[in-house]
A = this chain, B = another copy of it.
Amino acid sequence: MDKSKKYLLVAIVLIGIISTPMLAEETSYEERITKIEDELAETKEELAETKEIILKNETYIAEVDKKASSFDYYGYVRSGILINDSLRGGKGGPYLTPAGSVGGPVGRLGNEPDTYVELVLEKNFYMENDSWAKYKIMIADGQEDANDWTADTSDLNVRQAYAEMGGLPTFEGTFAESSIWAGKRFDRDNFDIHFFDSDIVFLAGTGAGIYDVKLSENWMSNFSLYGRDFEDIGSTDIENYILTMNNYYKKMDYYGKWQVMLNYLFAKDNDRTDPDRADGGANILLAHHLDNFYGIGEGFAKTTIQYGHALGAQVKGIGSEEELTEDANAVRVTACGVVGLAPNWKLAPAIMAETSEDRYVDGDEYKWVSLNLRLSNEITENFEMVYEATYQYNDLSPEGYDPDGSDPRQSVNGDFWKLTVAPTFKLDTKSGFFSRPEIRLFATYAFWDEDLEDYSTSDVLGDDDFSGGSGLNFGAQMEVWF
């Protein structure tokens, strides 16, 4: 072999040596890449399937959500016992004083002997176009009977049954934010002083109305017609109708929101029962709502003044009192709020005062002022001490008014004081005055001018068992709303 051939051979062998592993590698790459390609394709397919399943599940969840959301359950409940210092059944209630007969409350803490329940079931309807409707029914009962079977004294009744709808495409411009309703209901915009168990306005009955009519940039109004029943005369049901215009000025800001509510009432046949009774009336509420405590601290505050005439002289329960005379006049002022005092201390002061004249009888006069202070001190995550002090001034001249026909009311003038301490358990004491449920023990000491016991023989202070100017009650209670 010549050199050239030898060199060629060397070159070929070299090429062979170099390229053989390359070819082997090549085969190995081929296999690996093919395997990867296959597995990746599989994986992608699996992922696609998985995403489909997820989509299906999302639809499923949405359906289950829709099912669960179409129903809502709400309630308010209090239930407990009140025992007096001779270990007998205690008496009480926020309206136990003479002023209570004309709406003057005292603090409710450690002062409630009843089981009161409100059970609300709601059905929700949702449309694709974001319009909605709801139907709400409330069944309620109030009982002082502690037994577990109270059929004989049951007051179970339907307090609300109404439908409301909103977000309707047909409603535009001024009405774009409006909702309409009809049926039996508590008005949406009623508000209260919880600690007195007293609404400031309680408008309720059967009727229809429209909420959130935007009259201008800063002026929203509600319009409604409510019907209510007074007692019958023979086969005539005396109906009382209430036309309401309820106005809000400005959105809530640091300086608050103003409300002016106007109610006009007519009850054509009411003077058939007694010619002095009013067959109509009107009232006005001016309210200022703040979401801080008068600029002093976090919390809220509400300040109101109400004036009513004739049937309107019942300034709280609008249109609910048929005994009012055509000359009746009433003025009520309230202020209340909640404020954080210090870490773990919260304070809720409230005042309510009213003067009314010619209310039930020509020349009568009812004056009262109620002051209440509830204080809570968080001790642990689940335990707080709650204190409440009430003072009420009574100056009532009923001029012999005798609603039951057997117990003419006497003029009285005097003070009522109530002090309560209530060790309270809750799920989270940090969550504030209004979080519930609460389970509380309590002791309440009350004292009053004995004069107040003369007002009526049928009210709590007039009771034989509740005399001598003072009383001690203790007990336990649960309270929940949701």
Residues of A at the B interface (CB closer than 8 Å) are: 2-8, 10-12, 14-15, 18-19, 22-23, 25-26, 29, 32-33, 36-37, 39-40, 43-44, 46-47, 50-51, 53-54, 57-58, 60-61, 63-65, 67-71, 73, 75, 77, 79-81, 83, 86-89, 115, 117, 119, 121, 123, 125, 127, 131-133, 135, 137, 139-141, 143-151, 154-163, 165, 168-171, 180-186, 204-208, 225-229, 235-239, 241, 266, 268-269, 320, 380-383, 425-428, 437, 439-441, 463-465, 476-480, 482
Contacts and interface: CB of A to CB of B under 8 A. Distances in A.
A428 B162 CA distance: 19
Given A15-B15, A26-B25, A37-B32, A75 B137 contact: yes
B182 A476 contact: yes
Given A227-B89, A439-B180, A480-B135, A54 B64 contact: no
Given A43-B40, A58-B57, A183 B478 contact: yes
A51 B132 CA distance: 33
Q: Which of A61, A89, A127, A154 has the most CB of B within 10 A?
A: A89
A428 to B, nearest CB: 7
A78 to B, nearest CB: 8
A26 to B, nearest CB: 6
B11 A127 contact: no
Nearest to A29: B29
Q: Which of A29, A64, A205, A426 has the most CB of B within 10 A?
A: A64
Nearest to A235: B463
B121 A73 contact: yes
Contacts of A144: 229, 237
Given A12-B14, A171-B382, A183-B477, 10 more contacts: A7-B7, A15-B15, A25-B26, A57-B58, A81-B227, A125-B437, A135-B480, A141-B157, A146-B205, A146-B227
Contacts of A182: 79-80, 439-440, 476-478
B149 A157 contact: yes
Interface SS of A by simple majority: mixed
- 3 smallest CB-CB distances across A and B, nearest first, come from A208-B476, A89-B239, A151-B155
Nearest to A379: B170
Given A47-B50, A225-B476, A239-B89, A79 B183 contact: yes
Contacts of A228: 146-147
B163 A437 contact: yes
Nearest to A156: B156
